[in-house]
Chain A
Amino acid sequence: MTAMQDMMKDPDVNLVLSLADDLLMLGHVQGDWTGLGPILEEDIASSSMAQDDLSHALVLYEHLGNRFGLDPDVIAYERDVADYRCCDLVTMPDEFDWSVAFVRRWMVAHWADPVLDRLAMGGKDLEDRCRRLRAEQGVHLSYLDDWMRRLGAGPAEARERIQAALDRITPLAGMLMEIPGRDLDVDEDFCCGREELFNEWVTAMDAVLSGAGFIMDITLPARDVIGGRRGEHAEHFIQQHAEMNEVRCEDPGAAW
């Protein structure tokens, strides 16, 4: 078995990859906004956070790379599409609608917090890494929550756009809760309880939204829903993955 196959067979790896891949792809789509944001200072701030997300993915890939003897770039770029554990919400096209991009990253930032808390139970090395990542994701949460409140206190146009973005994303938000991994037994679960994680995530988001005057109603999907995290990715993820690999694929094995 290759090192990659070894890694993909390890059930705990699915949990780490679910967050790492979410952050990789969120950083990938958000990084693309750099230079195109609505306000120069906001563009700069959002790009910082996109870089954080990419770096956080790298920190988690390094952890896996050390365990299985793999180059983090190989983990990031060269898995089969079906071996990525991100949910397809993170690569859903935002069609250059800032409200959709904003609501999505806000939701994922809220998601990352309790997940990092749980991943930290995976041993000393992972604990150290997750503690640092959680502190930095906390900076994102603070910034994005503040913006949610500002937009909620803003003119009707802003409130309508953000509510419309919430309405559009909410039906897909459950994708974050898909159980990661292929060939799973029905009983396998996130550590520490799936429903508990869901409630923690939604409660934190509701607290911000209700203060801002927005409404959201996310349902916990059934355990057997099969989507991106189970390797059944939407076309838009496949396209993003191909785009990410465009240069590497021109000259496989080359150093860049």
Chain B
Amino acid sequence: MSGAANPIMTIDPSQEDPDKLAVFESRVASGVLIEPGDWMPQAYRTGMLRMAEHHANSEIIGALPEGEWITRAPSLRRKLALTAKVQDEVGHGQMLYRVSQDLGKSREDMLRDLCIGKTKYHNCFNYPAPTWGDIAMIQWLIDGAAIMNQKTLADGAYGPYVRTMHRINMEEAFHFKSGEDMVLTLMSGTKKQKAMTQEAFDRWWGPSIMFFGPQDKPGCQDMPPMRWRMKTETNDSLRQRFVNRFAPAARDLGLVNHVCEKDEHGIVTGKRVDESCVPDENGNWGFTEPDWDEFFRVIRGNGPCNAHRLALRRFSYEQGAWVRRAIAGGDTTLPPAA
């Protein structure tokens, strides 16, 4: 699953050669894809590096909450599917780190920066997954959001990232179908299963809405991330599309859309029906804006699970150091990336 473009990344094109920049922007605007040998603004290189790195970090950390349930999956098929999904996420991280590596940062440096919290990853993985229902919801809602986002990223301008997104999306389809299958099974199951699934929906609807990043700033379509087709659709547009897809689907499943209050552990402490969650005359479903203060609190490291996720990742990194030392070859310098 993905991250959106780092929601607080800023790009400053003012330092670029203006003539070359104009040619670059004209090519991008006309739909040309940028390949590694092309001239690119330094800010574009940096921006794509950070975007792919953030996305890779999100995959690597995203493997952790779902990985908690591999040992407890309630059937062999679900156990196999969950293991494969978490494995896919590691694979996606591996592919995305490569994109950033080609732009000038080593995988080792990226993993180290992730471990110490210097670089970020997608906010939604800082929330807990306390039940099996959460696994179903993550695969339905979060992977559903990721697919919507990633389809637009596959329309982007940077060739290596686009190629990677195509391959990732081909696996993402399985993640989403598996998630749908689980949610559909649970919501046609026992009373207990339905209650568990409703509670998981309450926990994950907010993070799903926030998945697409903060509300659009005025003029964002003219800013470099969209002008340079690093992003091809705005946060709000994707968000509305997500709600239009999932709100009626949830309703038909028998789920109720709630406005929830949560404590610092991500546990719902109070809820009321979201009366705004109905379609308007244009077919756009309403939704209550999530708590954007919470979004920024969590990004800054104060979410329910930030510390634990990073700690587990760092532990895994440190424990594995001897294996990396054991297997690495001689001490010549790294070959240049293609």
Contacts and interface: CB of A to CB of B under 8 A. Distances in A.
Q: Do chains A and B touch in the complex (CB under 8 A)?
A: yes
Interface of A: 28-29, 31-32, 34-44, 47-48, 50-51, 54-55, 57-58, 61, 72-73, 76-77, 96-98, 150-151, 154-155, 157-158, 161, 240, 243-244, 246-248, 250-251, 254-256
Nearest to B312: A36
A96 B87 CA distance: 18
B63, B90, B312 — which one has the most chain A CB atoms within 10 A of its CB?
Answer: B90
A246 to B, nearest CB: 5
A253 B326 CA distance: 48
Contact of B326 (A44, A73, A151, A240): A151
Given A34-B63, A39-B323, A40-B93, A256 B80 contact: no
B327 A44 contact: no
Given A38-B320, A254-B192, A54 B79 contact: yes
Given A36-B67, A36-B316, A55 B80 contact: yes
Interface in B86-109: 86-87, 89-91, 93-94, 97, 107
B78 interface: yes
A38 B192 contact: no
Contact of B325 (A35, A155, A250): A155
Interface string B190-201: 101100000000
Contacts of B90: 34-35, 37, 40, 43-44, 47
A34 B86 contact: yes
Contacts of B320: 37-39, 98
A51 B189 contact: no
A72 B76 contact: yes
Contact of A247 (B73, B76, B84, B316): B73
B190 A251 contact: yes
Contacts of A58: 76, 80
Contact of A39 (B190, B193, B327): B327
A251 B193 contact: yes
A44 B84 contact: no
B333 interface: no
Nearest to A246: B72
8 contacts: A35-B87, A36-B67, A38-B320, A40-B90, A73-B76, A161-B322, A256-B78, A256-B185
Nearest to B85: A34
Interface string B293-304: 000000000000
Contact of B322 (A35, A76, A157, A250): A157
Contacts, number: 139
Interface size on B, as a range, is 35 or more
A254 B72 contact: no
B323 A42 contact: yes
Contacts of A42: 323, 327
Contacts of B40: none
Given A243-B72, A255-B185, A35 B89 contact: yes
A157 B87 contact: no
Contacts of A41: 94
A54 B76 contact: yes
A17 B167 CA distance: 39
A37 B319 CA distance: 9
Contact of A31 (B71, B193, B319): B71
Contact of B79 (A29, A31, A97, A151): A31
B64 interface: yes
Given A31-B83, A48-B87, A58-B76, A38 B323 contact: yes
Which one of B70, B97, B321 has the greatest number of beta carbons of chain A within 10 Å? Answer: B70
Contacts of B192: 250-251, 254
Contact of A51 (B83, B97, B319): B83
B161 interface: no
A154 B87 contact: no
Contact of A57 (B72, B76, B322, B323): B76
Contacts of A254: 189-190, 192-193
Contacts of A250: 132, 192
B316 to A, nearest CB: 4
A193 to B, nearest CB: 32
Nearest to B67: A35
